[in-house]
Amino acid sequence: MEYKEIIDKIKPEFDKVIVFLEGEMAKIRTSRATPSLVEDITVDCFGQKFPLKQLAAISTPGTKQILIQPWDRSYIEGIISALSKTGIGSSPIVENDSVRISLPPLTNEYRKELARLLSEKQEQARQTLRRWREDGWRQVQDGFRESKIREDDKFKAKEELQKLIDEYNKKIDDLGEKKKLEIME
């Protein structure tokens, strides 16, 4: 086994961390309304739990509004109940066969709280990257002990792992900065 194989196995895991972080960041409210704020909310319907996106069409008719149009009118009660349990900051209003949420403006205090939450999510992503790097390094060291990896390749692997970590940490920082700007605007 070569050290490059180990790194090639780890790189897709790093990509998964970034994709997961992007999804988590999409759920953090900014000054604009987006369907991702509510689409994964769990709704109790007919004794089962479903993500909201499976029960309704979700759109944003304005920058501060989310419109939820259930596939069936009988879902509305469960949707209202699920939305009221979330900390979205607004009460849902039933209009005909749809549910409208008007988002209030963000306060400075709430913006700071969102920025703190964003930082926590970034740190969780960095920790996951570090765990994958440690796993890769352990595999390289095991290969070296078993004489499957040469000593100079062991150090090349360590350098490449560090380069990957630096590259993905930069991606995490860039995503975080972009999201912080959205929160603060």
Mark whether 97 and 116 lie in a shared domain: no
The pLDDT-based confidence of 87 (bands split at 50, 70, 90) is: low
Domain boundary among 102, 118, 147: 102
Q: In whole angstroms, what is the distance from residue 114 CA to residue 100 CA?
A: 23
Please give the tally of structural domains in the chain. 2
Mark whether 69 and 94 lie in a shared domain: yes
For residue 42, give every residue at least 6 positions away whose Cβ sits within 8 Å of its Cβ, in sequence order, or none.
Answer: 49, 50, 51, 52, 82
Q: What angle do CA 45, 49, 50 make, to 5 degrees?
A: 90
Mark whether 112 and 152 lie in a shared domain: yes
CA torsion through residues 165, 121, 117, 31, sign: positive
Domain boundary among 61, 84, 102: 102
Q: Is the pLDDT of residue 169 over 90?
A: yes
Domain boundary among 102, 136, 153: 102
The pLDDT-based confidence of 89 (bands split at 50, 70, 90) is: low
Mark whether 44 and 69 lie in a shared domain: yes
Mark whether 125 and 175 lie in a shared domain: yes
Q: What angle do CA 185, 80, 53 make, to 5 degrees?
A: 70
The pLDDT-based confidence of 181 (bands split at 50, 70, 90) is: confident
Q: Is the pLDDT of residue 150 over 80?
A: yes
Mark whether 116 and 179 lie in a shared domain: yes
What are phi and psi for residue 27, nearest 5 degrees?
-80, -10
Residue (of 178, 185, 184) closest to 25 by Cα position: 178
Q: What is the mean pLDDT of the chain?
A: 86
Mark whether 96 and 116 lie in a shared domain: no
Q: Kindly report the CATH number assigned to the domain that includes residue 74.
A: 3.30.1360.40
**Domain of 48, in residue numbers:** 35-102
